[in-house]
Chain A
């Protein structure tokens, strides 16, 4: 496939790997922000091909993993209402709430539908005027424009039986939370390429400056990741801390203007609880006053008790990069994809699931 296959070229990948080996003289810890990047690193076996001196730590870039238990409970509650059609992206269905996940609600008769796009949920609302359609609007900034657009569409079409349960999370506050943590060991970041396609790169300059940490906006294919890693290590070896753009075929410094406008049209920035990390101020989106009739929380007057995280799950340390999945005492034993203790094991992008499914061939060979 064009613009995809070329970035999987084995010879080109090999050249980048050789160059990384050649220039790395000191130990460096790099964090890739995005779950999709973690997935790609592990799935392509890149981790084992990097020099031992480079440690890749996997950040909280999985909106599915960081969605708080309380929000899952809200979605579960809505899905259980007899006149509600709860529409969601596939990855959300297996994430455990306090008692159930959405897949279980579906099995019990709840009308839960997997959709590729939130725009389809609006069509479903139009076709089912006697039902309430709620879209479980999860994601980082990448998905926010589409979720916002669904609200704009519903508004323009005069559809009143549509609303969204918003659980958006933003990358820069998460990065700050990680970098400002005393135990932080991250030397450089691979920033999330698709988030930056929307939001641009401006937000990262002050962060790079403040924490003297290189930030390289990176794509997802093997060659992209390797180039991003190379660019980060080049900076680290030279003692630089700039913001660079590896993913320039899609990312512009100012981002996507229309997408940003659409987000601002529908959402306000709000505080958000991140599963495993806790509350990070101004780190999420909520539906604003103008579009409040499309806010499922207000429409259904949701007021569920704040849920407790599973204490055995160390997802917070994992997502902040302080521990690796295999350092969790429950990894692979009490906590497996079929019975996860926390979200990073469920979501296919979650660090723990990625490791469980793909990784560490050496440990298998041992």
Chain B
């Protein structure tokens, strides 16, 4: 469930109404037309998470970076907290 991958939004085309809002998303250079109606705030150059042709989220860049500093931040926090053992 849920093969979804991030891609870069290159362009947006609006048709009919917001449920038909589509964009061209690039995955490592290949592009596919993706429906954007679930991510109304998405703008060109955003990275969106795409599942079965529908974008379901926009990457939160700040949160994305936190994974890389998690261990380091944790180490610093543990130094501050008194030991529990």
- Contact surface of A with B, Cβ cutoff 8 Å: 1-4, 6-7, 12, 15-16, 19, 34-36, 61-63, 89, 116-120, 139-140, 142-143, 145-146, 149, 152-153, 156, 192-195, 197-198, 220, 223-224, 227, 238, 246, 248-251, 256, 258-259, 262, 349
Complex contact B59–A3 (CB within 8 A): yes
Complex contact B2–A118 (CB within 8 A): no
Closest residue on chain A to residue B49 by CB atoms: A250
Residues of A within 8 A of B19 (CB): 149, 152-153, 156
Residues of B within 8 A of A140 (CB): 1-2
Complex contact B60–A250 (CB within 8 A): yes
CB within 8 A of B16: which of A3, A156, A194? A156
How far apart sit A165 and B51, CA to CA, in the bound complex (Å)?
A: 19
Interface pairs (5), CB distance under 8 Å: A1-B28, A153-B20, A197-B56, A227-B67, A249-B61
Instruction: For the complex, count residues of B whose C-beta is within 8 A of A.
Output: 37
Residues of B within 8 A of A4 (CB): 5-6
Residues of B within 8 A of A246 (CB): 67
CB within 8 A of B52: which of A16, A89, A258? A89
Residues of A within 8 A of B83 (CB): none
Tell me whether chain B's interface is mostly helix, strand or loop, or mixed. mixed
How far apart sit A250 and B69, CA to CA, in the bound complex (Å)?
A: 17
Complex contact A194–B67 (CB within 8 A): no
Residues of B within 8 A of A6 (CB): 68
How far apart sit A145 and B56, CA to CA, in the bound complex (Å)?
A: 9
CB within 8 A of B4: which of A12, A89, A194, A238? A194
Complex contact A250–B1 (CB within 8 A): no
Complex contact B1–A61 (CB within 8 A): yes
Closest residue on chain B to residue A220 by CB atoms: B2
Residues of A within 8 A of B37 (CB): 149, 258, 262
Complex contact B1–A195 (CB within 8 A): yes
With A149-B19, A152-B19 as known contacts, state yes or no: A259 contacts B1, CB within 8 Å.
Answer: no
CB within 8 A of A146: which of B52, B60, B66? B52
How far apart sit A2 and B56, CA to CA, in the bound complex (Å)?
A: 17
Closest residue on chain A to residue B36 by CB atoms: A258
Residues of B within 8 A of A250 (CB): 49, 56-57, 59-60
